[in-house]
Structure 1
Amino acid sequence: MCGRYALTATSKEVLDFLGVIDIDDFPARYNIAPTQPVLVVAAEEHHRPGSNLPRRRALLARWGFLPGWVKDVRDFPLLINARAETAPEKASFRGAMRHRRVLVPASGFYEWRRPAKETGLPAQPYWIRSRKGGLVAFGGLMETYASADGSEMDTAAILTTRANATLRGIHDRMPVVIPPQEFSRWLDCRTQEPREVADLLQPAPEELFEAVPVSNLVNRVANMGPELQKPIILAEPQDPPPKAAAQMSLF
């Protein structure tokens, strides 16, 4: 799952990383939450001279995907994530997987480790960032929703997949991360059908992320400063370590 993330890079860093045509300056955002506007990158319809690859454009979309067939948004659940395993076939996301794939730049994301209920301990938030620093790009989906009054709104969801071994002890899901060398293929909805980019919907490499325990300041959307990412030292393990098996098993 991905329910909070951050984008603290400069606009130039985002531009250089994602190769967009142009981008306006924007402030650092340490606690991006659902329903807020988020920066996404999509393929431009026009092409570079002499190239079959589309250019990339940056735009803002509401984090909360709305399929075009929704009649009343008040009766529709908030879709901030799309499961990569089912998105190509699910009615809500099928069209976007084929025609409107996007990249969502991020400096990292937050996840909560929830101890067993019997411990009585609260969920522990972690700031999950690239070990090398810099940006990553989540795989995302976009839909332009037209309301009954004729107004339009771009909406987006972040694709998730099963967690890798690095993060599995915190949560069983993680965002899909598209590597830079695959940006063009992911965004190319003209020639790359969902089945042809399915290999990109995998857990991130084990060495990509590190998980840093942080305070519960991130729990409140109103908290938006860099102190949210300040590491803390955990007083004690949240769960007892698993007991060693009596013998090894192949399964």
Structure 2
Amino acid sequence: MCGRFALTSSPKEVDEAFSLPELEAFPPRYNIAPTQPILMVMAGEPRQPGSNLPDRTSLLVRWGLIPTWVKDTRSFPLLFNARSESASEKASFRTAMRHRRALIPASGFYEWRQDGKKKGQPFWIRPRDGGLIAFAGLMETYAEPGGSEMDTGAILTTQANSDIAHIHERMPIVIHAQDFSRWLDCRFQEPRDVADLLRPAEQGFFEAIPVSDLVNKVANTGPEIQDRIDPALVQEQPRSEKKKNPPNDDQMSLF
């Protein structure tokens, strides 16, 4: 699964990677959690004749997809991940998989090695060569009973490759730049036409860096949560002595 990720690249870097010339400014975000707003890239309206830019648009969505048929969101589970192997058949994701595929810009993600029933050692998992990546995502617009609408989304996951499997059995799907347009094209590319993209990242693409348990708390939003540690040297400290960061308002609102 993927329950935390980061987007620390500048708006200019995101613009260059995803061809989003109208992208607004936003701060680096080191600890993005479910229910918070995330940036998604989707196919937009066709551009003017002669333009060599792809037809893409960006939007903020709530991380946690809500299908249109849900009556009571309070009793509905938080769908921040979607299993790619069954997304085309599952009622919660089937429509979005056909009509609203998206890209989610990211710098990497966090995963925890399980220790029994508890969260164990956390890892910051990033591209070995650095730079931006794009997770495969799904978007759904939920109409609330009062009439307001809310854009929501989920990250598609698949079986982890050998680089990640010793930490967790699942990982987010990465869509490479040469496949952006095909993945986003919901007018002519049906789910079966892009099924070949729903695969683990190639071996060696990611590196897993052990980090401290600062990342466990959503309130910790600074770059220090990505600092490498030596797990063998980490000793349990009294709770009152652990480093605390004040909540960062920028974390809760992308723009």
TM-score when scaled to structure 2? 0.88
Q: How does 1:34-49 map to 2 (within 5 A)?
A: 34-49=34-49
Instruction: Write the letter of the residue equivalent to 1:216.
Output: D
For structure 1, list consecutive stretches of 5 or more residues without a partner in the other structure.
Answer: 237-251
**Separation in structure 1 between the aligned mates of residue 60 and residue 140 of structure 2, nearest angstrom:** 12
1:107 to 2:107 alignment: yes
Q: How does 1:194-233 map to 2 (within 5 A)?
A: 194-233=191-230
Q: Is this contact kept in 1: 2:64–2:153, CA < 8 A?
A: yes
1:163 to 2:155 alignment: no
Matched residue SS, 1:46:
coil
Q: State the Cα deviation string for residues 53-110 of structure 1 (Å, max 9, x = none).
A: 9511111000000001111111111000000000000000000000000000000000
Q: Rg: which structure is higher?
A: 1
Q: Is this contact kept in 2: 1:48–1:55, CA < 8 A?
A: no
**Separation in structure 1 between the aligned mates of residue 86 and residue 50 of structure 2, nearest angstrom:** 37
1:79 to 2:79 alignment: yes
Q: How many Å apart are 1:188 and its aligned residue?
A: 0.2
What residue is the counterpart of 1:239 in the other structure? none
Q: Is this contact kept in 2: 1:139–1:177, CA < 8 A?
A: yes
**Separation in structure 1 between the aligned mates of residue 149 and residue 36 of structure 2, nearest angstrom:** 16
Q: How many Å apart are 1:46 and its aligned residue?
A: 2.6
TM-score when scaled to structure 1? 0.90
Select 1:182's aligned residue among 169, 179, 183.
179
Q: Is this contact kept in 1: 2:19–2:54, CA < 8 A?
A: no
Instruction: Write the letter of the residue equivalent to 2:89.
Output: E
What residue is the counterpart of 1:152 in the other structure? 149
1:59 to 2:59 alignment: yes
Q: How many Å apart are 1:49 and its aligned residue?
A: 1.5
Q: Is this contact kept in 2: 1:98–1:189, CA < 8 A?
A: yes
**Separation in structure 2 between the aligned mates of residue 194 and residue 30 of structure 1, nearest angstrom:** 32
Q: State the Cα deviation string for residues 192-248 of structure 1 (Å, max 9, x = none).
A: 000000000000011210000000000000000000000001217xxxxxxxxxxxx
How many residues get paired?
Answer: 234
Matched residue SS, 1:30:
strand
What residue is the counterpart of 1:132 in the other structure? 129
**Separation in structure 2 between the aligned mates of residue 230 and residue 208 of structure 1, nearest angstrom:** 20
- Runs of 4+ residues over 4 Å off in structure 1: 50-54
1:23 to 2:23 alignment: yes
For structure 2, list consecutive stretches of 5 or more residues without a partner in the other structure.
Answer: 234-255
What residue is the counterpart of 2:2 in the other structure? 2
Identity score, percent: 65
**Separation in structure 2 between the aligned mates of residue 53 and residue 96 of structure 1, nearest angstrom:** 25
Change (3 A) 1:132 1:51: same
Instruction: Write the letter of the residue equivalent to 2:93.
Output: F
What residue is the counterpart of 1:248 in the other structure? none
What residue is the counterpart of 2:242 in the other structure? none
